[in-house]
Amino acid sequence: HRALRPVLPFQARRPDSPPIAHCMAAAALHGAAAAAVTAADTGSSSVGLRGAAPAWRGLPLLPPPTHCLRGQVAAAAAVAAGALAVAGAVPHRAARTAARAFARSGAGGGRRADMVGSSRRMPSSLRVAGAPLPAAGAGAGAAQAVPMERLEQDRRQLPWGCLRGVYCVNLDRRPERWAFMQSQFARLRLPVRRWSAVDGQDVDIHMLADGGLVNPKALSRYFLPDEMKLFGVDLTAGGVGCALSHMQIWKDVVENFPDEGKSWFLIVEDDCQFTSDFDEDCLSARIAQVPDDWEMVFLGGADLMRRQAALEVAPGVRRLYRGFRETTAYLISVAGCKACLEVSVPMSWQIDTHLTENEVELEGGLSYTVKPRGYCLFPPLVEQERDRFKTDVQKQEHD
């Protein structure tokens, strides 16, 4: 981790760098208020993992989210803070301060808010949990604790309650792409966390190899002229940055949601175009067709070898195989994040190659990916917006 600090300038900021309002935004709408407030209260700037420390665990963390929701998020933040205080998870004073700070931010003052609220009515139990807080200094044990199961049920009644978290990967030097995604998120009323992507142009590939994140044997092909590289397979500067960005998100999920089981996390890239019929009901209906053993479900992608139709397991659902490419948008579980990290480090190829190369063979010459246990949707719910945006990853544009 220390070896990578001079190379990757995106270490975790101290929690007091952005206002507590921004932490509470993601906390209230993604069910992580306890972690956010606790981190702010203790001054902790990083979270460690137990057990062995493979190379991916040295990935630096990005700052806390700096983009929040307008509209109902102020109420949601107050709700989360109130519920936590009632449950005795955080001091009443800290919870009340967080709620007030966010209310000021979401009401039009303060820093920019880049996510959209919803007009859906707040569940009654959450409104009760967000009732006026006891006076500062009152004993938390005097109030009856709110069962975590009840809070989780109420969270699922909020807009996009099927998703535990949403991440959008975006380079800081690509604000036009973020604006493109914001317009879609606003239309969908989809709360999302912007993830500042790793810029491969600023990465020292030799230091990544020394740190175990890149296979040293891949360096010879990394430095080949573009015309000699295998399109979509060999590492490029943009491909390395893309891979590290996704790996950091997987690491963030594993560290912050370790016991979430089958919770869904949506990860999208900033050139993702959602189909016109995409919404929460559509996504839920399509995922209901996917076998229960899934760890990763791509909402779209490219079948380069034209063989995926033979791997259909349910209407509109196909298994992954080595001919599948793209990471435009996908659902993933905590187990899926762990599996993706395990198969992607050290990097020898572009990230989508690693995600599909662990296969089992079937009769007739077919094969499918088993780690991560993945599927893709067809017809897709997303596609890459290639007309408006040029590639930041490949050596040339797609055919």
The tens digit of pLDDT for each residue in 345-390 reads 999 999 999 999 999 999 888 999 999 999 999 999 999 998 887 6
d(CA 350, CA 238): 10
pLDDT at 231: 80
pLDDT at 25: 40
Residue 82 has pLDDT above 50, yes or no: no
Joined together, the tokens standing for residue 2 give: 């220390």
- C-alpha 350 chain-centroid distance: 19
Cα-based torsion angle of the residue sequence 156, 262, 288, 189 in order, rounded to the nearest 10 degrees: 40
Residue 179 has pLDDT above 80, yes or no: yes
pLDDT at 58: 58
- Asked if 117 and 189 count as a contact pair (C-beta separation under 8 A), the reply is yes
51-63 b/e (C-beta count within 10 Å ≥ 16 → b)? eeeebbbbbbbbb
d(CA 105, CA 78): 12
- The chain-wide mean pLDDT, for the chain, equals 73
pLDDT at 171: 97
183 vs 395, residue with greater confidence: 183
Cβ burial of 135 (10 Å; 0-12, 13-18, 19+) is exposed
CA proximity to 296, closest of 256, 323, 273, 329: 329
CA proximity to 81, closest of 90, 72, 73: 90
> What is the average per-residue pLDDT within 189-203?
96
Angle at 122 between CA 116 and CA 126, to 5 degrees: 120
The tens digit of pLDDT for each residue in 48-80 reads 333 445 665 556 544 434 343 333 344 444 444
pLDDT at 131: 37
pLDDT band at residue 262, thresholds of 50, 70 and 90? confident
pLDDT at 387: 86
- Asked if 294 and 263 count as a contact pair (C-beta separation under 8 A), the reply is no
pLDDT band at residue 186, thresholds of 50, 70 and 90? very high
The tens digit of pLDDT for each residue in 220-239 reads 999 999 888 888 789 999 99
State what percent of residues in the chain have pLDDT above 70.
59
The tens digit of pLDDT for each residue in 24-56 reads 343 344 444 333 333 333 333 333 333 445 665
User: How are strands ordered across the β-sheet holding 374-377?
Assistant: 193-196, 163-170, 264-269, 329-332, 296-298, 374-377, 317-319, 312-314
> What crossing angle do the helices spanning 73-86 and 92-106 adopt, rounded to 10°?
180
pLDDT at 159: 81
d(CA 74, CA 110): 13
> What is the average per-residue pLDDT within 237-257?
96
d(CA 33, CA 224): 47
49 vs 269, residue with greater confidence: 269
Joined together, the tokens standing for residue 366 give: 């077919």
103 vs 284, residue with greater confidence: 284
CA proximity to 43, closest of 22, 16, 20: 16
The pTM of the full predicted model, rounded to 2 decimals, is 0.65
Beta-carbon contacts of residue 320 (< 8 Å; ≥ 6 apart): 296, 298, 355, 356, 368, 369, 374, 375, 376
pLDDT at 36: 38
Residue 190 has pLDDT above 80, yes or no: yes
Q: Which of 31-40, 131-140, 172-181, 279-288 has the lowest mean pLDDT?
A: 31-40
pLDDT at 155: 64
Position 371: which residue type? K
Residue 332 φ then ψ, to 5°: -150, 150
Task: Read off the DSSP letter of residue 393.
Answer: S
The tens digit of pLDDT for each residue in 292-309 reads 999 999 999 999 888 999
Q: How many residues does the chain have?
A: 399
pLDDT at 59: 62
Beta-carbon contacts of residue 323 (< 8 Å; ≥ 6 apart): 303, 304, 305, 306, 307, 308, 356
